[in-house]
């Protein structure tokens, strides 16, 4: 049973600051909650989105371009 259960439409910080939606996390991330370098996958939170907005940065999945339609754990 997976320890980490990503939400497909939520965004996550992964290896080297890459932002991916739950659908595009790799297998290691989906099953362990860590990327291939061993760093913990971290969900993008509302405060992160607010900070991105202040900097005129649109937070999107780097694979499919999906925006932050939901925030994990909220």
The whole-angstrom separation of Cα 9 and Cα 20 is 10
Contact assessment for residue 55 and residue 26, using Cβ atoms and an 8 Å cutoff: no
* Residue 27 to residue 21: CA distance in whole angstroms: 13
Structure tokens at 39: 């760093």
Q: What is the DSSP letter of 43?
A: E
> How far is residue 31 from each of residues 28, 65, 72, measured CA to CA in Å?
5, 23, 16
Order of strands, edge to edge, in the sheet holding 42-43? 19-21, 11-13, 42-43
- Please check the confidence at residue 71 and state whether its pLDDT lies above 60: no
The string of pLDDT tens digits covering residues 21-44 is 999 998 888 888 998 888 999 999
Q: pLDDT tens digit string along 46-70?
A: 999 889 889 988 899 999 998 875 4
């Amino acid at each position: 049973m997976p320890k980490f259960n990503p939400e497909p439409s939520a965004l996550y910080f992964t290896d080297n600051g890459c932002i991916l939606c739950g659908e595009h996390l790799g297998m290691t991330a989906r099953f362990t909650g860590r990327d291939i370098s061993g760093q913990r996958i971290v969900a993008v939170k509302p405060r992160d989105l607010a900070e991105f907005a202040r900097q005129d940065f649109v937070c999107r999945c780097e694979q499919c371009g999906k925006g932050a339609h939901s925030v994990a754990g909220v």
